[in-house]
Chains A and B, each alone.
Chain A
Amino acid sequence: MIKEWQPSCTIEVLRLRAQLFNSIRCFFSARAVLEVETPLLGYACGTDPQLDFFTTDYIAHPQRDTLFLQTSPEFAMKRLLAAGSGSIYQICKAFRNGESGRFHNPEFTLLEWYRVGFTLTELMDEISELIQTLSLGYLSLNTTQRFTYQDIFERTTGLNPLTFSYVDYSAFALANGQPEAMTICGYEHGLWLDFIFSHHIQPYLGESALCMIYGYPACQSSLARINNLNPLISDRVEIFINGIELGNGYYELTDAQEQNKRFDEEIAIRLENNRPATVKDKNLIAALECGLPECAGIAIGLDRLMMVLTGSLTIDEVLSFPVRRA
């Protein structure tokens, strides 16, 4: 029986983490990608309608300010890119409130990197190389798979993810014994895609292989650029191994106006859903106005990657102290 004071992972897993960090640093050092550090505490925060954040009081005499713990280092890193840093990477903590479960801990470790001048395809090549390198000796991975979102969605469900059909989507849910999907998702295309993808597609992605899904529907673009050939899809990629989501990457949006518009839209959605208000990152907009170089970037959850490498069933098995013991 493990006692409360003891770590929930083994000492071996501690060693694996150290080794993983070391391999990542070697990998990027060999490619002349610069390691950087950005603040975890900031005055602004992501506006993502699906994320909740931690806030804290900053006693800056004579007044008190509210600071946010970052849900990702993305904005700060983009400001560095705009300032001329060139390609950069960072290993850091990120914080997401309310997220706890077999695959979630509210505080977790991210590897985030940006490649100046890379297209999404070039970034995907590098992701594959990195994951293959890090897996050596732990997990033998088959050849990396690449599917478009539309391809995998149609193949698995017979539904078209790019054009919303309430009738078709509902029929699929009913046929799969999930009438609740109709109440949960209603007429929201994005919600339906999340529901169907996370129940029927994701669990089967990347059996003993790295699986990359790209070309997400435009309504799920987040901070990715809309594809210049097909306005229905965005240049966004997600990666999976053994059904576990490991990371999310974009061909980054560089248009300040478009970014500002998406912030406002997301803030409106947050308001509508009664989510806590957030502060738009004006510094990011200013940086984009000054000019973000064309780049592609991705964030990978290192705890999840460690789960995959060790075959762990819960994130607790790879954390020293999960939030309950922290």
Chain B
Amino acid sequence: MAIYSTNEFKSGLKIMLDNDPCAIIENEFVKPGKGQAFNRVKIRNLKTGRVIERTFKSGESLEGADVVDVEMQYLYNDGEFRHFMVPDTFEQYQCEEKLVGEASKWLKDQDNCTITLWNDAPLSVTPINFVELAIVETDPGVRGDTSGGGGKPAKLETGAVVRVPLFVQQGEVIKVDTRTGEYISRVKE
């Protein structure tokens, strides 16, 4: 695997730190005019999701991590594992529920998502930014209310609960931003 020096550190670079694969979020070059140069680096541990700050002496280097993001299609949940497939190669991957984490509430069969692989094993699952899901349960809205003021909770087919405007009805399909969990719009069938 490649070796990266502090001056090659940039946002998104995947490196190994304390035996875990990590992604660099931010790299700040800090140098007192007459003193030692440091790189103060914000790093996300890709296994735990935790963000840490670590300082390196400029010129130090770290081993790269074999981490790639692959577009896959979500197939099904067998109760123990979630199964995904690379559409082009039909190659399949299984992923433990705990690795799927928060993403599980946006996963619908056949939908695309991004799987992060470390040494060809799934590390995490990221849903696409916008999903379209049907509402399976919500209170009937008040007739004539077309504004978004207030809103009400709605349960979606994947189990996620989002706030929707009062005029949105059970059975309708809505578009949701998975990064914020916010309702965007109704989707016309």
- A residues near B, CB below 8 A? 48, 50, 98-104, 177-178, 180-181, 184, 190-191, 193-195, 197-199, 202, 220, 222, 238, 245, 247-248, 301
Q: Are A198 and B32 in contact (CB under 8 A)?
A: yes
Q: Give the interface centre of A180, A238, A247 by most chain B CB atoms within 10 Å.
A: A180
26 residue pairs from A and B, CB less than 8 Å apart: A50-B36, A98-B7, A99-B31, A100-B7, A100-B29, A102-B29, A178-B55, A180-B54, A180-B56, A184-B57, A190-B36, A193-B35, A194-B32, A194-B36, A194-B38, A195-B38, A198-B30, A198-B32, A198-B38, A199-B40, A202-B32, A220-B35, A222-B34, A238-B32, A238-B33, A245-B33
**Distance of A184 Cα from B57 Cα, bound (Å):** 6
Q: A-B pairs with CB below 8 Å: how many? A: 66
- When C-beta atoms are compared, the residue in chain A nearest to B55 turns out to be A180
The contact string, 1 if C-beta is below 8 Å from chain A, for chain B 12-26, is 000000000000000
Contacts of B36 on A, CB cut-off 8 Å? 50, 190-191, 194-195
Task: Give the interface SS of chain A, mostly helix, strand, loop or mixed.
Answer: mixed
- B residues near A, CB below 8 A? 7, 28-38, 40, 53-58
**Distance of A101 Cα from B39 Cα, bound (Å):** 10
**Distance of A180 Cα from B62 Cα, bound (Å):** 14
Q: Are B33 and A248 in contact (CB under 8 A)?
A: yes
| Smallest CB separation, A176 vs chain B (Å) | 10
| Smallest CB separation, B86 vs chain A (Å) | 34
Known contacts A50-B36, A99-B37, A195-B38: A184-B56 contact under CB 8 Å: yes
Q: Are B55 and A101 in contact (CB under 8 A)?
A: no
Q: Are A194 and B35 in contact (CB under 8 A)?
A: yes
Contacts of B55 on A, CB cut-off 8 Å? 178, 180-181, 184, 195, 199
Q: Are A102 and B32 in contact (CB under 8 A)?
A: no
Contacts of B29 on A, CB cut-off 8 Å? 99-104
